[in-house]
Amino acid sequence: MAPGVQLLTLTSSLAEIPRVADAVEAFCAPLEPGPRDLHALQLVLEEVVTNVITHGYGGRLGHAFTLELRIEGRRVTAVLSDDAPAFDPLARAEVDVHAPLAERGIGGLGVHLVKKLVDSAAYERRDGSNVLTLSRTFAPPAP
Amino acid sequence: MEITASNQNDITVLALQGRLDGIASPQLEQRLDALLAGGARKVVFDCTALTYVSSAGLRVFLSGAKKLKSAGGRTAFAALTPAVHEVFELSGFHEVLAVHPSAADATASLAGP
């Protein structure tokens, strides 16, 4: 596989979260990312991978899905593909992040953060798969 | 995730170290529930060494703050790293949770009745 591309095959277990975080860190290391960029990308991928496992596959173990990572310049793109029932996580209603503490629900916060932390997000149902494509352009490396 | 607890009078300071992700969050939730059951009412989260938090971790912070508040207690957060601070801001958490620059400030804010 060409440098700048990595394909991870994941199983439907939350134990994959640290593995994804480690893979993202290693994959992005050549970009010398600042802590905010790395944190943002790890968070985004934890949220969407968790969504696939808990919502898409209903928390059932034993399903496999893929995460492809690509680097073009300082832009990192992640493509998550799974064969769970059609589900567009981006279609979720916006959360009110200004509600007072007592009224604060936590549902939808993950997707809210995903939308805020990527430059582009696109969902597509393609050939029986959910395909979610997310990109973030990293800041220039510290001088 | 490592959680180290210390006490200053009636204030419990939880120093969080490492990553508060979907795997680690239940550990913090159980710790908070145990503290609450044990009578703790004032809790400082020292985030100096907290390098990562996802929505799973934020959920535990929020539910912990709510539980303590409804028990008549209070929480304060201290020393967020820039990455964690950004996530707090994007979530609106800085509007509903008390965030302080240092653990000493956070502890002082909870001192007294």
Closest partner CB to B54 (pick from A47, A97, A116): A47
B112, exposed or middle or buried, with CB in 10 Å at 0-12, 13-18, 19+?
exposed
Please state the domain count of chain A. Answer: 1
Closest partner CB to B87 (pick from A21, A38, A113): A113
Q: Which domains does chain B have, with CATH numbers?
A: 2-110 (3.30.750.24)
Q: What is the pTM of this model?
A: 0.95
pLDDT digit string, tens, across residues A105-128: 767 899 999 999 999 999 999 999
- What does residue B86 show for φ and ψ, rounded to 5 degrees? -60, -40
Q: What pLDDT does residue B53 have?
A: 98
Contact call for B95 and A98, based on CB within 8 A: yes
> Residue A113: which domain range?
5-137
Contacts of A2 (CB under 8 A, 6+ apart): none
A105 assigned to some structural domain: yes
Taking the Cβ of residue A139 and every Cβ of chain B, the question of whether any pair is shorter than 8 Å is answered with no
The answer, yes or no, to whether residue A2 has pLDDT greater than 60, is no
Q: Do residues A57 and A50 touch, judged by C-beta distance below 8 A? A: no
- Evaluate the CA torsion angle A108, A110, A112, A115 in order and state its sign: negative
The shortest C-alpha distance from A56 to chain B (Å) reads 17
Contact call for A106 and B95, based on CB within 8 A: no
ipTM confidence score? 0.95
Q: What six digits make up the tokens of A76?
A: 């990192």
Q: Compute the distance between CA of residue B46 and CA of residue B100 in angstroms, rounded to an integer.
A: 10
Contact call for A109 and B58, based on CB within 8 A: yes
pLDDT digit string, tens, across residues B59-107: 999 999 999 999 999 999 999 999 999 999 999 999 999 999 999 999 9
Q: What pLDDT does residue A3 have?
A: 63
Q: What pLDDT does residue A143 have?
A: 80
Q: What is the three-class DSSP state of B102?
A: coil
B80, exposed or middle or buried, with CB in 10 Å at 0-12, 13-18, 19+?
buried
A143 assigned to some structural domain: no
A142 assigned to some structural domain: no
Q: What pLDDT does residue A64 have?
A: 98
A133 assigned to some structural domain: yes
